[in-house]
Structure 1
Amino acid sequence: MTDLTIRLRQAMQPWRTAPAWRIAFSGGLDSSVLLHLLAAWARREELPALSAIHIHHGLQPAADAWPEHCAKLCARLDIPLDIVRVQVAPGASLEQAARRARYAAFAERLGPGEILLGAQHRDDQAETLLFRLLRGAGVRGLAAMPASRPLGRGTLLRPLLGCSRAELHAYAQSHGLAWVEDPSNADERFSRNFLRRQVMPLLAERWPQVTASLARSAGYLGEAQQLLEELAEMDLLAARGVCALPWLPLPSLDLSGVAALSDARQCNLLRHWLAPLSRMPDSGHWAGWYDLRDAAVDATPIWKLADGELRRAEGRLWWLSGDWLKPPQPLGLLNAALTDSVELPGNGRVNLSGELPQGHWHLRYRVGGESLQVPGRGRRDLKRLLNEMRVPPFVRSRLPLLFDGDELMAVANLTQAPGIEASGVRLHWSPPIGDRGLSW
């Protein structure tokens, strides 16, 4: 049993009970070695169901031959292969867009508890650390590639991170493996290729252990990032507080709980809390947070981020995304449409329970100047009522209102007039939930 095989077994041992192992198989050297190692292991022992996924980006003519190459090798090793063609969205970075498309396809195909196996190795880890260091990344970025992380309904695992590219190349040659070469890997206009082909060999001439040293540093930084995440979880527990509107399903934090922390812990907490929801700016672009935090009490500041925005209202921080970033379409539902659950365009759903008495019933949103007969309190201005109930301003224009003719009779989820209170009618609104995070 080779040293490479032993290290792979050690890395995979905690995942032996997974329902399936799926190999991210590009057809290149690294993934070909991983495929071959796992196929040999599966012939000797019972393993989780083994299969491969090849993502075809269609970005260069040479890639059209790769699916056939992958299919032949998988057939020879008796491993099922799923070939997936993806569309790469245009953008400033072709590499990043291709990576997003690739991992979105992987995530979509992973079943509950399944493992996607990536073939990234120690040299990749070292290059990633150096690349991110040159871009000014923080601890999270410098931790480089984690050995495992959640992906879709399963887990992405990189069992070869402790192995060098030279070891994989030697294994491939000794077993007569053939692999595809991506022509774009020779294009030094791409920063990672320049680092791999020009910078790393130069560093290795002076420091022969440079890849091992950089990979080791990435491991230390990974431990530091884990400690920061544990601290953020502790701060998050204290900062969640209690939202006065339990029917509002938006991520939110108690502002005073966040502001009581040091600036460094505030940033650490917000990075941790917002990481699943949005791409975060680098440290030089956090002025928006301090402006939002320090604004006057009666101000309504907004911190716009890549995938949504953070607002401050009623003593809390609120994350808005998706439908919440656009005004809802005009609403004019008449009596005949007010049955059971009704979808509101761009604004969730509304449910009317009970039977309305005879009248000219309809739903609409606020236009200003509305008032409501409140049980035991007489007629009250709706604006004042919403202030008393601490409804955030960004919610008020979305609240479905039930009218009988020109008379406001109910405000969804909050209050209603005595005229329908006795009838048992209830107007419940399920607001939009926004985008529920990044796909990978």
Structure 2
Amino acid sequence: MPADFESRLLNFLAPWRNAPAWRIALSGGLDSTVLLHLLVQIASREALPPISAIHVHHGLQAVGDAWPEHCQHFCDSLGVPMRVVRVQVDDGASLERAAREARYTAFAEALGEGECLLTGQHRDDQAETVLFRLFRGAGVRGLSGMAACRPLGSGVLLRPLLGIHRAELERYARRHGLSWVEDPSNACHDFDRNYLRNRVLPGVVRRWPSAVETITRSAEHLAEADRLLGELAQGDLISAGARNEYIGMQLPSLAIAALAELSEPRQRNALRHWLAPLARLPDSAHWAGWRDLRDARGDAEPIWRLADGELRRAHGRLWWLANPWLGFVPRSQAWSDPSQSLLLPDNGALRFEGEPPGGPLEVRYRQGGEVMLLAGRGSRDLKRLLNEAAIPAFMRSRLPLLWRADELLGVALLPGLRVEAGQGWTLRWTPPTNDSGLS
């Protein structure tokens, strides 16, 4: 290992030297074993944040049942606290992907505010990742490889070994007498990444010995290009009036006309950056959904369906609706104690400001044909009132309606509608979130 390895590691970690904690993702394999050992050695000489380890046990193979004990013994020898998190891996087409998602969900839940999770991916892993994504047809962002740092839960994920080769880590481990576990599934070529690691990349390196260096250098160039595309997207999203809420509801939206003025590549670039924290991005074939939505007639109601929700257009804007938000089922309910907030199943909560109206109250939802008697205006169709208030059609089935017997007293989001002159109450709604749970 190069003599300057420790200084390179500390230079990378410098921005997080004052973090509340450094938590090491310890699998028991070579890279995470070396990372934890090295940080403990440095901590004996320098002030570092508190160091602990997290081991995620997937329970996918019998041999893996011994790994938590191995990791615990290693941590005990270093005087490092360790936490074991057991996860359930969902069955699916890609066991690798399901295990990774379960693992990172566990890591995200384990991180406190501002804490850092350090993982041991190295330079060879980066080259493997770039090749894997290349064969899957990834774009600039995918081919930039694994990010050295990114947000994770309430903290941040750090990969401080991305500049180090596996061979260097192995020399360090042998020099310090470290032992590590080998996952037998890594030898199975049925998994795509294993095939790349064991068959493809070694052959490439035999032909081009510096292949790992050149692949990762290309990834660095692409990462820079992705940052430039991000800056372009931010400017375009500002021009498109990007916003995250609408009259108190969490409803991300963009102005369609402003997007449509851009070239198609810039449209897709802006939308990718806008959708990235909201949904898994569509592949090339699914971008036809954007064109259909963009070019639809003004009175049409097209839908662009994605894995984590859907996009709709209304009032000249593109709106994001997450799957949990779309799954709402309206259910009427009595409001027996108006002095207390009323929790609405999957639809937030209602409360009164001021003295509530008398009489038995009930919350219902639109069925069509509702009429509201307004002070000084007479009877008005609720549909017309919602049109006047520019409430998008897709929101209307969620709006709680306050009834007293057959009298419609109030509508959530529209506190200005008054059934009585000088009434002493206002209906307040705390809407639900519109979150896919992505970051």
Structure 2 length-normalised TM: 0.95
Aligned residue for 1:212, secondary structure, equals: helix
Q: Distance in 2 between matches of 1:84 and 1:404?
A: 51
Aligned runs of 1:66-145 on 2, under 5 Å?
Answer: 66-145=67-146
Amino acid at match of 1:412: A
Aligned residue for 1:363, secondary structure, equals: strand
Instruction: Tell me the CA shift for residue 369 of structure 1.
Output: 1.2
Aligned residue for 1:44, secondary structure, equals: coil
1:303 aligns with 2:310: no
Aligned residue for 2:420, secondary structure, equals: helix
Aligned residue for 1:251, secondary structure, equals: strand
Aligned residues: 438
Aligned runs of 1:266-285 on 2, under 5 Å?
Answer: 266-285=267-286
Counterpart of 2:334?
333
Amino acid at match of 1:349: A
Contact 1:244/1:390 (<8 A) preserved: no
CA spacing shift, 1:209–1:421, aligned 2, 3 Å: farther
Instruction: Tell me the CA shift for residue 306 of structure 1.
Output: 0.7
Counterpart of 1:223?
224
Q: Distance in 2 between matches of 1:42 and 1:245?
A: 49
Contact 1:307/1:321 (<8 A) preserved: yes
Contact 1:409/1:416 (<8 A) preserved: no
Of 64-73 and 320-329, more deviation after overlay is shown by 320-329
Q: Distance in 1 between matches of 2:47 and 2:292?
A: 58
Contact 1:352/1:426 (<8 A) preserved: yes
Instruction: Tell me the CA shift for residue 359 of structure 1.
Output: 4.0
In percent, how many aligned pairs have the same letter? 58
Aligned runs of 1:58-69 on 2, under 5 Å?
Answer: 58-69=59-70
Q: Distance in 1 between matches of 2:162 and 2:356?
A: 65
Q: Distance in 2 between matches of 1:88 and 1:299?
A: 41
Counterpart of 1:350?
350
CA spacing shift, 1:351–1:322, aligned 2, 3 Å: farther
CA spacing shift, 1:265–1:376, aligned 2, 3 Å: farther
Task: Give the gaps of 5 or more residues in structure 1.
Answer: none
Amino acid at match of 1:404: R
Q: Distance in 2 between matches of 1:298 and 1:279?
A: 29
Partner deviation per Cα, 1:97-139 (whole Å, 9 max, x = no partner):
1111111111111111111111111100001001100000011
Q: Distance in 1 between matches of 2:184 and 2:82?
A: 23
Task: Give the gaps of 5 or more residues in structure 2.
Answer: none
Counterpart of 2:407?
407
Q: Distance in 2 between matches of 1:101 and 1:404?
A: 48
Aligned runs of 1:319-330 on 2, under 5 Å?
Answer: 319-330=320-331
Of 23-32 and 230-239, more deviation after overlay is shown by 230-239
Partner deviation per Cα, 1:280-314 (whole Å, 9 max, x = no partner):
11122211111111111111111111111111111
CA spacing shift, 1:244–1:390, aligned 2, 3 Å: farther
Q: Distance in 2 between matches of 1:241 and 1:421?
A: 38
Contact 2:242/2:252 (<8 A) preserved: no
Contact 1:328/1:347 (<8 A) preserved: no
Partner deviation per Cα, 1:252-295 (whole Å, 9 max, x = no partner):
22222222222111111111111111111112221111111111
CA spacing shift, 1:376–1:241, aligned 2, 3 Å: farther
Structure 1 length-normalised TM: 0.95
CA spacing shift, 1:74–1:378, aligned 2, 3 Å: same
Instruction: Tell me the CA shift for residue 384 of structure 1.
Output: 1.4
RMSD across aligned positions (CA):
1.9
Q: Distance in 2 between matches of 1:105 and 1:82?
A: 11
Q: Distance in 2 between matches of 1:118 and 1:147?
A: 10
Counterpart of 2:28?
27
Of 344-353 and 201-210, more deviation after overlay is shown by 344-353
CA spacing shift, 1:426–1:62, aligned 2, 3 Å: same
Of 254-263 and 41-50, more deviation after overlay is shown by 254-263
Of 347-356 and 198-207, more deviation after overlay is shown by 347-356
Counterpart of 1:387?
387
Instruction: Tell me the CA shift for residue 52 of structure 1.
Output: 1.0
Partner deviation per Cα, 1:318-357 (whole Å, 9 max, x = no partner):
11124421242321325x3433311111222112222244
Partner deviation per Cα, 1:220-252 (whole Å, 9 max, x = no partner):
111111111111122222222679942222112
Contact 1:149/1:156 (<8 A) preserved: yes
Counterpart of 1:5?
6
Amino acid at match of 1:137: A
Contact 1:354/1:423 (<8 A) preserved: no
Q: Distance in 1 between matches of 2:78 and 2:243?
A: 56
Of 313-322 and 356-365, more deviation after overlay is shown by 356-365
Partner deviation per Cα, 1:186-234 (whole Å, 9 max, x = no partner):
0011111111111111111211000010011111111111111111122
Partner deviation per Cα, 1:144-194 (whole Å, 9 max, x = no partner):
101100111111111111111111111111211111000011001111111
CA spacing shift, 1:437–1:215, aligned 2, 3 Å: same
Of 253-262 and 75-84, more deviation after overlay is shown by 253-262
1:429 aligns with 2:429: yes
Partner deviation per Cα, 1:402-434 (whole Å, 9 max, x = no partner):
233322222222156654341221112222212
Amino acid at match of 2:302: P
Aligned residue for 2:147, secondary structure, equals: coil
Counterpart of 1:15?
16
CA spacing shift, 1:170–1:94, aligned 2, 3 Å: same
Instruction: Tell me the CA shift for residue 21 of structure 1.
Output: 1.1
1:52 aligns with 2:44: no
